[in-house]
Structure 1
């Protein structure tokens, strides 16, 4: 499979690219900074330099053409203000979904956040982030041409992954290593029966592959 990942230099994305490459897949990561290209190559992914804040749907569609799946793992990141939460966490996600639909890429994974809600109140940057993520989730759900799955991890950590998770429609809050988030995404890419599901993810006691199969009803 060819999988295109938006936000290809992100911490989860790089982990996912390594897993996909090791599994025999062809991964491509969209990045804005050409200096990040070597890190993607080291992870086994093809770097694609494109700014999702200024690109057109046609330009993004060209990158996605021929892909089997698309993963949105981009984000404005720590230190960014309210404006970029909207242009990246919402705007770029919606653009990526539009482009995937145009390019005929049905399988679409969205890395969201626990607590994401377009109706969230508050003036803090984190409130704006959760509103943007929630709006993007709602937009992806509205795209009839996508077999989408939305993944909402809990508090992300850089602890070594355990491979043991809790993956449900509602888990309650909790931490989860980025390693395990990437492992779940790699399984979800190959599990189309999870299309149409919004899932929360925290550390737990169930092996990743078993958790994904269970939520898919397999």
Structure 2
């Protein structure tokens, strides 16, 4: 498969690139900072520099030509303010979806967040509220698109622990717990292969079911 990852230098994206490259897929990673190119190449992906906060859909569509699917793994990241939660976590997702439609790429996997689209818990602060709102609006945008075979994945609290290979994967609500970034990447790789699992919103936590079995159970 030919996969394009938006936000290619992120922690999940780099792990996903390694998994996909190891099994023979071709990975193109969109990054904003050219200084991240070597790290992306080391993970087995080909970097392309494009700023999703300033690019237009036509420019990005050119990078998607011939791809089988897009994975939206971009995020404003820790330390960013409320404004960038909107310009990256929402607007960049909308841009990638527009570009995918222009390029005729139907597959679109969006890494979202548990609680997206719901009223944020009291006391979490303005930035968290902006983040959850941006993720929810990005999800809503995807659900309105008939031209995309979208899939929304909402991981729980992310950790850098080693992969367990075992997860809980189901439509929300699934509860609140942790999941390793390695396991998130493994689930995305399996979902990319499961072309009949689309137009679903899925929560993801670590659990007791092997990744392949958890994905197969969705069919």
TM-score (norm 2): 0.96
- Give 2:212's match in structure 1, choosing from 189, 206, 209: 209
Query: CA offsets, 1:44-64, max 9 Å, x none?
Result: 000010000000000000000
- What is the distance in 2 between the residues matched to 1:117 and 1:109? 17
Alpha-carbon shift at residue 119 of structure 1 (Å) = 5.7
Match of 1:161 in 2: 163
Deviations 1:54-111 (A, max 9, x none): 0000000000011000000000000000000000000000000010011000010000
Q: Report Cα offsets for 1:134-180 as digits up to 9, x if no partner.
A: 00000011111000000000000011110000000021111000000
**What residue is the counterpart of 2:74 in the other structure?**
74
Residue 183 of structure 1 corresponds to 186
Q: In the alignment, which of 115, 132, 135 is matched to residue 133 of structure 1? A: 135
Q: Does the 8 Å contact 1:32/1:50 carry over to 2?
A: yes
Deviation at 1:193?
A: 1.1
Q: Identify the residue that residue 53 of structure 1 maps to in structure 2.
A: 53
Once residues 60 and 11 of structure 2 are traced to their aligned partners in structure 1, the CA distance between those partners, rounded to angstroms, is 22
User: Where in structure 1 are there 5+ consecutive unaligned residues?
Assistant: none
User: Shift of the alpha carbon at 1:120?
Assistant: 4.8
Compute the displacement of 1:194 (Å).
Answer: 1.1
Unaligned runs of 5+ in 2: none
The CA deviation string for residues 164-215 of structure 1, in whole angstroms up to 9 with x for no partner, is 0000002111100000000000011111111111000000000001100111
Gap change, CA 1:139 and 1:118, over 3 Å in 2: farther
Could you state the TM-score of these two structures normalised by the residue count of structure 1? 0.97
Check the 8 A contact 1:118/1:133 in 2, yes or no. Answer: no
1:126 and 1:32 map into 2 onto residues whose CA distance is 23
What is the total number of aligned residue pairs between the two structures?
A: 216
C-alpha RMSD of the superposition: 1.1
Q: Secondary structure at the match of 1:193?
A: coil
After superposing on structure 2, the runs of 4+ consecutive aligned residues of structure 1 that deviate more than 2 Å are: 118-123
Q: What is the alpha-carbon distance in structure 2 between the residues aligned to residue 50 and residue 118 of structure 1?
A: 31
